[in-house]
Structure formats: C-alpha cells, structure tokens
C-alpha cells in the first residue's frame, strides 16, 4: 500500500489555559474524501491551522506522501501541495475570475508566465472545478456564493494541491450549488486528490465521505470508513452522549390566527404574480423550504419589514401592519436573521448589551440606562435559555454560534413579540446546540408564539414544522402539512418536478 | 479576534487610555526640558484656552465618530457663527440673544443637511460633510461678498476671553460639555443606541434601533457644539475672522483620533477625547513656542495622529493571537 | 477682512525660489536709482530679454525717459518714507525700471471704446471685491469696455480664464496674478500681440508683460522695518509675524525686513518668527504666547493689520502695554485701537491700484511710453494720524483710505 497523502500522528497544541488538540491522529489517502467531524471547539479549526502551516504543533509528527515535514508557514504548506478553502470566502470581488484563480501564482518559479499560459492553466482548473462554462473575465463579485466557492477550489487546484482542505464549504450552499460542489469534490477525489471535508451537515457525510474522523474536546474519538458511521453514531460521538431526540415533540397549535398575510409580494426584480397568502396560528410553526435563491429569505425579510413590499397586506392579531421595520417590530413581528454576526448582534458589545439591544427603552427608565435592570434582564435570559457565558461583560463575539443565537432570540423575546421569524436558525451551529435551539423554538410556540422559519436543511424543516411552505423561483410552489411532510416531496416541489405542485 | 479585543480594549480596559496618557506625559516632559518658559502661568493659560476651544468641537466630533461618521463641516459652522453674530448684532449686546438663536438654528440646519445626506441619500459622511463645508463657506462668501461687516458684542468676550478662578472660561465650558457627553454616552439609552449603531449599523437597525435618528442626532449635536465653539472663538478674537470659516478645521478630529476614538465607529469614550484634546493643545502651544511654522505644526499634528492610529492598530493585534 | 493676503495664498511656491523679477543680479549695492542708471547701459543691453521686457516689447533702460521713470519710482519710495519720518529711502537693490516703447500696440480708439480684458481674483474677500469695483469704476470713467473673468482665487481657474479672455481678442489684458502658473498663458497672449499689464502682484521671468503695476513689496518691508528700528532706538528684542508661509505677499516684505535688520541694526534681536495665516484669532494666540515668553519684547514687525488686531487683543487683555506694531491697513484695526495707546506704522496695499493698472493699459494702447514697473502710491501713516484715516461708520473690511465714491462704497456694503 502506498503511503498516505497526509498523515498526522499525535498532534498536540496547547493554548494558555486550554489544550486545543491532545494527541490527534489523522490519515488521509489519495483519492478519498475524508469527513472531519466535531462540534465547535472540538479542535477542527486548530487541526486545519496546523495542516495549512498557520500554526505549529507543540508535539506530533506530520508526513506528506510519506515524508516527514515541518510546515512553518502557509507557503510551506502550499509548496507541499496542501491548500485549504475556507468557509468565509476570500474571493476578491473586484478582480476577474481569472485573476482570482491565479492569485499568488502570477509568477512561477521559472519566471514570468505568459498571459496565454495563465489563461490555459486557469481554464483547466476552472473546468476541473466544474466552472468550464464560465468566462474567466467575469468579475468575481457577480458570481453566486456557490460559484465563488468553486473559484476558490479552482485556485487551490492551480497550486497543484494533492491535499485539499474544505472547511465547511457547504455552509453557504443548498440545492444546485450543493450538488455542483459534491460533483466537483467527487471528481477531484477520482483524480487522486486527498480531500479533507469539514461539515456540520451530517447528510453530506452519507452522500460524500469515504472515511470519517470524529473529534471531541481536542481528542480523537474514532476514525474509520464512512459505512461504519450511521448518523446516530456520528451524533453520539460528537456530542458525547445519546441525542435520542434532536427534534422535540411539537405541541398542537392554538386556534387564534395571529399572522395573516394576503397577496404579499416582495419588491424587486420580477415582482409579479399572485403573491403569498399565509395564515399562522398561535403556537404554530411554519417551515419555509426551497433552494438557495428561491426567495425564502426574501419572504421572511419582507414580512419583517426589512425589505420593501411590492404589494400585499400583513395583519397581526387583526390589525394591519405597515411595510416598515419599525411597524413590524411594534406589531410584534421580529426577525432572527440568517447573518447572525453582522445582522443579529453587535459583536463588540458585551452580552448584556446585546440581550437588551431591542429593548433599550425598557431598561432605561426616563432615558437613564439602568445597569441593575440590564443585568437582571441578562441574567433572566441566561437562565431561561441556558446561555453559557463567563459573565455579563463578555464580548458577544467570543461566544459560540449556538450561544450567540440564543442571545439573538433573547434580544427579541424581551420585546414580547407575537410572530417570530427565523432565517436559517441553526446555520453554523453544532449539533448539540441545534437541538437546544429546536427545543427553545418548540417551547416558544407552545407558549403561543407564531413561528415562521426558513431553512435549507431538510431534516430541520421536516422535524420542526407543523406545516411547510416550499418556495420555488420566488413564489410558493406548494404547502405540506402533517404526514405529507417528507424530504422527498419537499425536494420535488423545490425543483418543480412534482406532479402535485399547486 | 483582533477587532474583538480592540473593541474591548477601547471601551473597557485602561489600556485604551494608556497611550494618549503616556503621550501627554512625554510631551509635557519634553516641553519642560526644551522650553523652560512653557510652564509660565500665562502660557499654561493659553494651553487651557486652546484645550477649551478644541475640546468643545472634539466632543461633537466624538459623538459623530462613534456613530461611524465624520464631520468635516465643523470649521465652517464655527465661521458661520461668528459671521452671524457680527452681522446681526454689529456689536450691540442687546441683539446678542437673537443672533445666538439664529446661529443655533443655522447649526441645526447644517447638522440636519449633513444627516440628511448621510442617512437618507447614503452619501459617505466624508463626502457629505466636506461638501457642506464647501457649501457653507461659499454661502458665507456670497452673503458677505467676502466682507463680513459688523462687530462682536462685548458680552461674548466673557465667554471667549474671561476667566473663572484663574482658568479660562472656554475650559470650563469644555469641562461641562464633556461631563454631559460622558454621562449621556455611558449612562443613557441614547448613548447605548449610538454605540450599537456605530459598531454595527445593520445589526442595530435590524434590532429595531432607529439608526437614522441616532446618526442625525449626532450630526446635529456636533453642529451645535461647533456653534458654541464659534461663539467662544468670536469672543476670543473679538472680531470677525474671515480666515476661520475658510480653514478646514480638523483639530476636533485630530484630538478625538489622537485620544483613541476609532474612525471605524462605536469605539472610544469621552475620556479618550479629553486626553486627546489635552495632548493636542499642549502640542500646539509648544510648537508655537518652538517657533515652528504653520507647516511644522501641521506636520507634528499629522505625525501624532499617525502614531496614535498606528499604535492602536498594533497593540491589539499583538494581544489578539492567543 | 484679510486684505490682499488670501489672494496670494494659492500662489505657487515656485516663485519663492525663482529670482525675483525685475532685478538686475549684477547691481548688488544698495545704491540709489541714480547710481544704478550709470550701470544701466551695460546692464540693460544684456537684459533685453529680461523679465520686465519679455517677448518683443522694446525696452530702453538707458534713455532719458527711462531715467525719468526711474526718478519717479525713486520718488514714490522717498515720499513713503517721508510720511512716517524716514527720510531718504531708496528703492531696493536690483530694482530695474525701464522705458517700454509701445508704438507697436498703439491703435485707434474704437467707437465703443477699447475692450480691456480683466483677469481678476474674483470676489472672495473685501479687498478683491474693491479691487474689481475700482477697475470697473475707472473703466466707466475712461469709456473702456471690460471683459471680466473671475478666478475665484484659484490659479488653475485663472489659466482657463486668461485663455478664454485672449480668445475674445481684447485690445489689452490686465491680470491680477493668482500664481506663477499663469505665466505661460500670459506669454501666449503677449506673443499674439496683446499688451499685458500685470496688476497688484508680480509674475516670474519671461511673462512678456508690458508693465507691472503694483505696490512694491520691498518698500512695504522696508518701511515697517526702518520705522521699528527708529522707534526702539536700534536695539532690543522684536518678533516678526508674517501671514502665510511661502506666499510672496508674506515672504517678500519679510525677506527685505530681515535683510535690513541684519545689515543695518546689529542691536536688534529677532527672537521669534511666526506665521499668523492673516487670522486675528491665530495672531492673538501667537501673541499671547509671545508676551508670556518674552516679557521684554520691544516691538512686533508684522505684515498685516489683521495680525496687529490679534496682537492688540492679546496684550490689552493681559493688561500690558501694546508694543509698536506695523502692517498694512484695515479699518477693523483702526476702529479697535482708536483712542487707545497703540503705537503703529501702517502702509496700505490699496485695492484701488487696479485703476492705475487700467490707466497703464490705456496708455499702452495710446502708444505712450510706459515704465516697465510702476510703484503704486499708498497711504503711509502712524498712530498720530489715525483720526485722518479711521472710518468708524464703515465696515471693518474697508480698505482705508478709499478712493471710491461714497455711493459705490454704500452699494458694496462697505460703508
């Protein structure tokens, strides 16, 4: 058997007060997709940093193609054929696709590459990355997130990578973008590239991975061929206990119609058609499914008054709500946005301030900000949601995704909303925290809140909703309730291949 | 991680005030060594006056900076104020209240135009307030045909040249303004809204904060403080100073930035501003004593700003790698 | 308020390093004009293409007319000195005045009058406004038609202005230079046969201008320096406050004064040289610092009464006697110090000199011989004569004494 493309033995990395990696092994073979799994804080990012030469390990050995190497800096990693594509896109939007792909490679070691040679190299890489049809002169900023991700992969290919690390490449993708990504990954593996694939979406493991490694608390839990890893095993090993019920039992909705939408049409290009009719009762949870770009987010943002309406009426508890963010908030319609870090929270402010961000008036009697009241509010929410923080002064940016999301929820619940809109409520959150968020949402519904959430993760939609709306091409393609809700029917509606599409 | 630590350092840790404080100490010591006359009573009084005049506008600038803006129209508003007072009163103290009222209204109007351009039209604050600066300057020239007639009433001289307990009145005014601003920023809902808006305008807006009003209030506050500074300045010179409305007075900006208020919004507090004002005032008077020309003075100020921002960029980055 | 000061703020600093125009480098000694004329023959023959004469215009530096022009020039210096008790002042070293033969520019007066292009500063301050109004007023008196262009204080705009004015084929061009950058355009106008008069300022070499009509900067600097020297008995500490660093209006008088202090008054110690940007506020701050640092300061040499206003404010507020000051004239200063014990000597840079510029242009068109350089007469006086000059009923900005009629001053809101 040939030597593994990449082999790490006994990696240890200590930071002051914490051991981020504690004797981790990882063996990746050429031509195979290796899923690297673990909750946030399990040590995945530290491992990636070591493998890409961004951080030296304190102990341990690294072999590439059988040779022991020391990666002092990212350039050394690149020279050894190890490159990475991160979740946060690093495509330069003002440059052309060609320039982005060739970034850092403009000058070869043999001298100046000719423009034509460059273009040929880039074309080949783009073709391998599944972007063969794309004009290399296109400005990168105009591409979709999925295509930008593929551009980054092409960039890695140009560098002649034998080991490719993909850090949550699917976080921004769904539907077609996701399938395209998977196809490219499979193809690259078939070409003999060793791929390390980090994801929170467990369904991807089934679809893509040949091998699996699970990390927890900086330690290696287990590793082996993907066949040996059914979802429940992965979850159990990641969380460290049985998560028998990721999705909680849903209470029966009440009878009162809280939210009523008639003919709602988001403003924007192609705003036409009959618009959305939707009624949500107290205690009801409505899931909105659909591919990326199907209008899921736009629908929620229009409901919340963040984006303008072209037509339609929204009433809450029988009173009409004007198309403005403030009118919506006053009427009790609040949005937990998809972009938690840029739209949901002010990361520089301490957690206490974010908890009261939407109810500053309530903790400022007569305009005077009351530290005591704010503290009390923060403590109440911390206890209610089990938010893990070191104290009220901790900067919000230091919290994990799950705890950040809980703060966003807490922020809004302090305003006593009637309709809770959630856009991708568990994006980038690890599985244990996901279950907590689901429980919180179900609990809020049981208390009488009307909930509408949009998600690209089908298990979430099927598991958490009383009712599912499926969007396609900017309008609602169908509605599923009760036993009708399953992933297959949702996909058919989302792709427009369903016979029962209404 | 970097921005995070920077944010914390700026607002909570004493480290944020350490640099301007040590800078101030350094300059004071250097002045003592090189220029013995620096610590004469008359000279210190000049430092305090400068601090008062710069400080009043620097507080306004701080409020705007915290809201992720910048106000380049400060100098024009100061100039306009002196012109209004001179033309409307022509030295008659009885007409002073009416003239001040007019100047205040003009200040509000200018602040509102700044805010309108920034909030409603989405013009970058740098461009909007610079355009307003040019506009106001042009309006002054057109209105007065370059010749601002009129006299400054004697009543204003108390504000600009007077002393209370041996300390120039402008410094007391600055102290009052700074105290009020410090309380508002740290202890009121309005202050919290401003910090949230400056740190992350999108999140603040989506959290239901009326960010437009917050930003507008900042520009109007800055313009009103510029009117106050204009009154002080008129009282100091005792005459209309046409030069004043023509200079793009960046002392307020320099003071805030040297003190450590971030140009990127949401970071800094009045303590920073006060230190920056003190440092700048000492620097300006010391440069005068050294006989540095206007060019030299500007160069030193620029160097101080660069040094301050450079140190701020570096400090947190070094600490942020843990 | 700031009189001519701002006008030159935008002037190119290049002018500083260029040789000052109209000077004969070889004539070094501080000689009187009469002495200079003896050297004139050899001097001028090699200086045919020199700044004052420039392209084409025939210059004669040795003839009897030239000599009388030189005497007239020297006369203006003498008169200015006599006015404040400084007898026997002679033009600065290197001042060259020649006779320009303007025959080739002579043309008959058209029925509607000569068309004179006026490239002005633009109404950016009271001085400039008055400068323009005086030109127009004089043009109406003399029946000339004015083609006007405002540079708005900007030399780049003036480059365009001159180009556009020349395109209208005026009979003559009068330009109030905003900076040396217009030299090329002025030369282009001259080469097309349009006589150019440089007004209230100077241009660098090779402008091709027929004549330069302005108040002599060296005279200003000399008057202020000599008066201070006499006032303090030739010894003691003084400070020099000039306007904007690098601007000719500030630098030329300062340079002249420095030379005088250094060469003639070893007992005078210049302890501080500072810029006030012609801002009374800045001047007050500077003066407040000066009086703290140098309690024994004997006098303040300054190029502007605006600066003096700040000096007066600072000293009077500190309860100290105001030291002797110098500068140009503003009504604001006179109003402020009237009845107070403030010793001063002022020499105006009158905005109305534009009228004399127009007259020179018309002389050229009439074919009369003109001097290559005209020193504009202006009011020179001390605190003893303040009542003759102060106009309490008029604006602070009025350039006193004003030659303009009362109704025009009223229209300009200056009185």
Q: CATH number for the domain including B116?
A: 1.10.3470
Inside any domain, residue B316? no
| Pairs of CB atoms within 8 A across B/C | 118
Q: Report the pLDDT value the prediction gives residue B314, as an integer from 0 to 100.
A: 55
Distance CA B172, CA B45 (A): 12
Q: Which of A404, A370, A398 is nearest to A385 (CA)?
A: A404
Does residue C147 contact residue C115 with C-beta atoms inside 8 Å?
Answer: yes
Binding partners of C (≥3 Cβ pairs within 8 A): B
Helix, strand, coil tally for chain B in percent (to 5):
80, 0, 20
Distance from CA of C285 to the nearest CA of B (A): 7
Inside any domain, residue B272? yes
Does residue A199 contact residue A213 with C-beta atoms inside 8 Å?
Answer: no
What fold, for C217-347? Rossmann fold (3.40.50)
Q: Is B210 on the interface with A (CB under 8 A)?
A: yes
The mean per-residue pLDDT over the stretch C218-237 comes to 96
B/A touch flag: 3 or more CB pairs below 8 Å: yes
The mean per-residue pLDDT over the stretch A485-502 comes to 71
Q: Which residues of B touch A411 (CB under 8 A)?
A: 207
- Minimum-distance CB partner of C245 among B37, B145, B295: B295
- A453: confidence class by pLDDT, cuts 50, 70, 90: very high
> pLDDT tens, C295-347?
999 999 999 998 999 999 999 988 999 999 999 998 989 999 999 999 999 99
Distance CA C331, CA C398 (A): 6
Does residue A430 sit in helix, strand or coil? coil
Q: Which residue has the higher pLDDT, B280 or B92?
A: B280
**Residue A483, burial from CB neighbour count under 10 angstroms (0-12, 13-18, 19+):** exposed
| Residue A265: strand pairing partners | A311
- B317: confidence class by pLDDT, cuts 50, 70, 90: very low
Count of structural domains within chain B: 1
Token pair in block for residue A474: 């900017």
> pLDDT tens, A351-362?
999 999 999 999
The mean per-residue pLDDT over the stretch A201-229 comes to 88
**Which letter, b or e, does each residue of B178-205 get, where b requires 16 or more Cβ atoms within 10 Å of its Cβ?**
beebbebbbbbbbbbbbbbbbbbbbbbb
| Pairs of CB atoms within 8 A across A/B | 89
User: Torsions phi, psi of B293, nearest 5?
Assistant: -70, 175
Distance CA C87, CA C79 (A): 8
Distance CA A297, CA A294 (A): 8
Does residue A50 contact residue A13 with C-beta atoms inside 8 Å?
Answer: yes
Q: Which residues of B touch C273 (CB under 8 A)?
A: 291
Which bin fits C358, alpha (ψ -120 to 50), beta or left (φ > 0)?
alpha
Calculate the average pLDDT of chain C: 84
| Least reliable range by pLDDT among A105-109, A127-131, A242-246 | A105-109
A368 to B188: CB separation less than 8 angstroms, yes or no: yes
Distance CA A192, CA A31 (A): 4
Q: Which of A24, A40, A37, A20 is nearest to A401 (CA)?
A: A40
User: Torsions phi, psi of B280, nearest 5?
Assistant: -65, -40
Distance CA A456, CA A478 (A): 16
| Residue A8: strand pairing partners | A26, A62
| Least reliable range by pLDDT among A104-108, B168-172, B183-187 | A104-108
The single residue listed with the structure tokens 């020239």 is B141
Q: Which of A223, A220, A181, A186 is nearest to A201 (CA)?
A: A181
Distance CA C188, CA C180 (A): 14
Token pair in block for residue A262: 């008639």
| Residue C188: strand pairing partners | none
| Residue C269: strand pairing partners | C237
CA distances from B54 to A449, B22, B161 (A): 53, 20, 15
The single residue listed with the structure tokens 């106008």 is C189
B209 to A393: CB separation less than 8 angstroms, yes or no: no
B241 to C126: CB separation less than 8 angstroms, yes or no: no
Distance CA B103, CA B78 (A): 9
Distance CA B244, CA B226 (A): 12
Distance from CA of B177 to the nearest CA of C (A): 22
Token pair in block for residue C228: 């201070």
Contacting residues for B105 by C-beta, under 8 A, at least 6 apart: none
Inside any domain, residue B9? no
Inside any domain, residue B75? yes
Minimum CA–CA partner of A353 in chain B = B192
Does residue A206 contact residue A125 with C-beta atoms inside 8 Å?
Answer: no
Question: Cα angle vertex C276, ends C275, C280, to 5°?
Answer: 170
Does residue A419 sit in helix, strand or coil? strand
Q: Quick one: angle between helices B41-66 and B74-89, nearest 10?
A: 110
| Least reliable range by pLDDT among A18-27, A237-246, B269-278, C384-393 | A237-246
C/B touch flag: 3 or more CB pairs below 8 Å: yes
Inside any domain, residue B160? yes
Minimum CA–CA partner of B41 in chain C = C292
Distance CA A8, CA A421 (A): 44
Q: Which residues of A touch B199 (CB under 8 A)?
A: 346-349
Distance from CA of C358 to the nearest CA of B (A): 23
Distance CA A163, CA A166 (A): 10
One DSSP character per residue, C140-184 reads: HHHT-EEEEEE-TT-HHHHHHHHHHHHHT--SEEEE--S-GGGHH
Token pair in block for residue B301: 């100020």
Contacting residues for A247 by C-beta, under 8 A, at least 6 apart: A435, A438, A463, A464
Contacting residues for C270 by C-beta, under 8 A, at least 6 apart: C237, C238, C239, C240, C258, C261, C301
User: Torsions phi, psi of A83, nearest 5?
Assistant: -135, 165
B42 to C274: CB separation less than 8 angstroms, yes or no: no
A325 to B206: CB separation less than 8 angstroms, yes or no: yes
Calculate the average pLDDT of chain B: 84
B240 to C2: CB separation less than 8 angstroms, yes or no: no
- Minimum-distance CB partner of C332 among B49, B239, B285: B239
> pLDDT tens, A125-170?
888 888 878 888 888 888 877 788 888 888 888 877 889 999 888 7
CA distances from A120 to A101, A109, A158 (A): 11, 18, 11
Token pair in block for residue C352: 């109305």
Q: Which residues of C touch B237 (CB under 8 A)?
A: 280-281, 284, 309-310, 313
Q: Which of C81, C79, C34, C102 is nearest to C260 (CA)?
A: C81
The mean per-residue pLDDT over the stretch A67-91 comes to 84
Question: Cα angle vertex A33, ends A30, A37, to 5°?
Answer: 130
Q: Report the pLDDT value the prediction gives residue A443, as an integer from 0 to 100.
A: 93
Q: Omega into C401 within 30° of 0, i.e. cis? A: yes
CA distances from B117 to A51, A306, B123, C156 (A): 49, 21, 6, 30
ipTM of the complex: 0.81
Q: Which residues of C touch B162 (CB under 8 A)?
A: none
Distance from CA of B196 to the nearest CA of A (A): 6
Distance from CA of B298 to the nearest CA of C (A): 12
pTM: 0.75
Does residue A37 contact residue A214 with C-beta atoms inside 8 Å?
Answer: yes
First to last CA, chain A: 56
Binding partners of A (≥3 Cβ pairs within 8 A): B
Using the Cα atoms of residue A122, residue A127, residue A131 and residue A137 in order, give the sign of their dihedral.
Answer: positive
A240-249: long-range pairs with CB below 8 Å, 24+: A240/A216, A243/A431, A243/A432, A243/A435, A245/A435, A246/A431, A246/A434, A246/A435, A246/A438, A246/A463, A247/A435, A247/A438, A247/A463, A247/A464, A248/A438, A248/A439, A248/A442, A248/A443, A249/A442
The mean per-residue pLDDT over the stretch B254-275 comes to 90
Token pair in block for residue C301: 């040499």
A369 to B189: CB separation less than 8 angstroms, yes or no: yes
Q: Which residue has the higher pLDDT, B279 or A130?
A: B279
Q: Which residues of B touch C289 (CB under 8 A)?
A: 43, 46, 285, 288-289
Instruction: Give the start-to-end residue ranges of the domains of chain C.
Output: 217-347
Q: Is B180 on the interface with A (CB under 8 A)?
A: no
Distance from CA of B45 to the nearest CA of C (A): 9
| Least reliable range by pLDDT among A436-440, B108-112, C39-43 | C39-43
Q: Report the pLDDT value the prediction gives residue C304, as an integer from 0 to 100.
A: 92
Q: Which residues of B touch C126 (CB under 8 A)?
A: 145-147
């Amino acid at each position: 058997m040939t030597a593994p493309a990449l082999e790490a033995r006994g990696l240890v990395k200590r930071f002051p007060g914490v051991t981020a990696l504690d004797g981790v092994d990882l063996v990746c073979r050429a031509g195979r997709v290796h899923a690297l799994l673990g909750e946030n804080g399990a040590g995945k990012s530290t491992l990636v940093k070591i493998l890409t030469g961004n951080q030296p390990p304190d102990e341990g050995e690294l072999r590439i193609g059988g040779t022991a190497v020391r990666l002092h800096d990212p350039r050394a990693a690149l020279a050894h054929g190890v490159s990475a594509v991160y979740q946060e896109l690093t495509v330069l939007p003002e440059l052309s696709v060609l320039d982005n792909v060739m970034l850092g490679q403009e000058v070869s070691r043999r001298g100046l590459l000719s423009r034509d040679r460059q273009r040929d190299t880039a074309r080949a890489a783009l073709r391998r990355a599944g972007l063969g049809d794309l004009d290399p002169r296109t400005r990168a900023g105009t591409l979709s997130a999925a295509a930008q991700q593929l551009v980054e992969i092409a960039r890695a290919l140009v560098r002649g990578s034998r080991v490719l690390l993909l850090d949550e490449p699917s976080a921004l993708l769904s539907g077609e973008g996701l399938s395209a990504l998977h196809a490219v990954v499979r193809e690259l593996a078939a070409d003999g590239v060793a791929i390390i694939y980090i994801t929170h979406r467990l369904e991807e493991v089934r679809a893509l991975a040949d091998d699996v490694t699970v990390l927890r608390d900086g330690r290696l839990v287990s590793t082996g061929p993907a066949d040996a890893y059914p979802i429940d095993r992965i979850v159990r090993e990641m969380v460290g206990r049985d998560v028998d019920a990721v999705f909680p039992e849903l209470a029966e909705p009440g009878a009162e119609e809280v939210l009523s939408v008639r003919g709602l049409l988001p403003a924007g290009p192609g705003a036409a058609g009959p618009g959305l009719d939707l009624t949500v009762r107290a205690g009801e949870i409505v899931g909105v499914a659909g591919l990326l770009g199907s209008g899921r987010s736009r629908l929620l943002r229009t409901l919340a008054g963040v984006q303008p309406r072209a037509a339609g009426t929204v009433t809450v508890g029988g009173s009409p709500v004007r198309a403005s963010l403030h009118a919506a908030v006053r009427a009790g319609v609040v949005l937990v946005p998809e972009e938690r870090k840029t739209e949901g929270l002010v990361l520089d402010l301490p957690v206490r301030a974010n908890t009261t961000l939407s109810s500053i008036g309530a903790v400022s009697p007569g305009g005077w900000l009351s530290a005591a009241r704010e503290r009390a509010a923060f403590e109440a929410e911390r206890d209610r949601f089990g938010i893990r923080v070191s104290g009220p002064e901790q900067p919000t940016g230091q919290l994990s995704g799950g705890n950040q999301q809980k703060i966003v929820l807490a922020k809004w619940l302090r305003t006593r909303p009637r309709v809770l809109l959630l856009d991708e409520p568990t994006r980038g959150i690890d599985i244990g925290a996901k279950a907590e968020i689901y429980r919180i949402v179900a609990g809020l519904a049981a208390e009488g809140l009307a909930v509408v959430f949009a998600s690209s993760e089908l298990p979430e939609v099927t598991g958490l909703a009383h009712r599912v709306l499926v969007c396609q091409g900017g309008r609602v393609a169908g509605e599923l309730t009760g036993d009708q809700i399953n992933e297959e029917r949702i996909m058919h509606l989302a792709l427009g291949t369903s016979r029962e599409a209404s | 991680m970097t921005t995070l630590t920077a944010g914390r350092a700026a607002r909570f840790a004493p480290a944020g005030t350490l640099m301007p404080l040590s800078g101030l100490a350094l300059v004071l010591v250097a002045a003592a060594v090189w220029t013995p006359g620096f610590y004469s009573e008359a000279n210190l009084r000049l430092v305090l006056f400068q601090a008062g005049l710069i400080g009043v506008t620097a507080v306004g600038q701080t409020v705007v900076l915290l809201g992720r803006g910048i106000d380049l129209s400060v100098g024009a508003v100061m100039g306009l104020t002196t012109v209004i007072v001179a033309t409307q009163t022509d030295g008659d103290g009885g007409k002073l209240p009416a003239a001040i009222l007019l100047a205040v209204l003009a200040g509000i109007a200018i602040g509102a135009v700044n805010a309108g351009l920034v909030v409603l039209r989405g013009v970058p604050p740098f461009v909007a307030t610079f355009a307003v600066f040019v506009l106001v300057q042009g309006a002054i020239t057109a209105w007065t045909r370059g010749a601002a007639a009129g006299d400054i009433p004697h009543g204003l001289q108390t504000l600009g040249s007077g002393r209370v307990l041996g300390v120039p009145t402008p410094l007391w005014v600055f102290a009052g303004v700074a105290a009020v601003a410090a309380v508002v920023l740290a202890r009121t809902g309005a202050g919290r809204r401003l910090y949230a808006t400056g740190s992350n305008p999108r999140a603040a807006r989506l959290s239901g904060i009326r960010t437009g009003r917050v930003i507008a209030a900042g520009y109007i506050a800055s313009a009103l403080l510029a009117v106050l500074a204009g009154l002080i300045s008129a009282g100091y010179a005792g005459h209309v100073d046409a030069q004043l409305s023509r200079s793009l007075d960046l002392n307020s900006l320099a003071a805030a930035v040297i003190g450590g208020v971030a140009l990127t919004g949401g970071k800094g507090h009045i303590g920073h501003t006060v230190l920056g004002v003190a440092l700048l005032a000492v620097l300006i008077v010391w440069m005068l004593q050294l006989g540095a020309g206007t060019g030299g003075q500007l160069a030193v100020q620029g160097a101080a700003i660069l040094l301050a921002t450079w140190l701020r960029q570096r400090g947190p980055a070094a600490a942020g790698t843990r | 308020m700031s009189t001519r000061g701002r006008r030159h703020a935008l002037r190119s600093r290049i002018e500083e390093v260029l040789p000052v125009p109209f000077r004969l480098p070889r004539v070094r000694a501080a000689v009187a004009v009469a002495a200079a004329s003896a050297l004139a023959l050899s001097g001028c023959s090699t200086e045919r293409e020199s700044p004052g004469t420039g392209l084409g215009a025939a210059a004669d530096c040795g003839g009897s007319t030239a000599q009388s022009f030189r005497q007239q020039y020297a006369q203006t210096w003498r008169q200015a000195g006599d006015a404040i008790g400084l007898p026997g002042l002679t033009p600065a070293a290197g001042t060259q005045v020649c006779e320009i033969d303007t025959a080739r520019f002579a043309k008959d007066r058209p029925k509607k009058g000569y068309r004179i292009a006026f490239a002005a500063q633009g109404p950016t301050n009271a001085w400039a406004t008055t400068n323009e109004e005086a030109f127009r007023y004089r043009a109406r008196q003399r029946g000339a038609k004015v083609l006007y262009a405002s540079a708005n204080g900007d030399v780049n705009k003036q480059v365009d202005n001159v180009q556009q004015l020349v395109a209208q084929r005026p009979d003559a061009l009068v330009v109030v230079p905003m900076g040396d950058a217009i030299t090329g355009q002025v030369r282009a106008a001259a080469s097309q046969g349009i006589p150019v008069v440089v007004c209230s300022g100077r241009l660098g070499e090779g402008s091709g201008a027929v004549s330069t009509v302005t108040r002599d900067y060296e005279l200003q600097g000399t008057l202020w320096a000599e008066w201070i020297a006499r006032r303090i008995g030739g010894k003691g500490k003084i400070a020099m406050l000039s306007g904007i660093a690098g601007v000719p209006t500030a630098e030329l008088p300062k340079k002249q004064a420095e030379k005088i202090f250094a060469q003639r008054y070893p007992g005078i110690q210049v302890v501080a040289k500072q810029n006030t940007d012609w801002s009374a506020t800045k001047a007050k701050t500077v003066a407040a610092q000066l009086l703290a640092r140098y309690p024994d300061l004997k006098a303040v040499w300054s190029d502007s009464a605006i600066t003096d206003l700040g000096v007066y404010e600072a000293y009077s507020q500190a309860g100290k006697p105001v030291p002797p000051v110098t500068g140009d004239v503003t009504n604001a200063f006179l109003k402020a110090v009237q009845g107070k014990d403030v010793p001063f000597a002022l020499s105006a840079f009158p905005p109305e000199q534009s009228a004399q510029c127009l007259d020179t242009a018309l002389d050229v068109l009439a074919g009369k011989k003109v001097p290559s350089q005209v020193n504009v007469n202006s009011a020179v006086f001390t605190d003893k004569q303040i009542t003759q000059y102060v106009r309490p009923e008029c604006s602070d900005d009025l350039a006193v004494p004003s030659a303009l009629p009362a109704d025009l001053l009223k229209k300009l809101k200056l009185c």
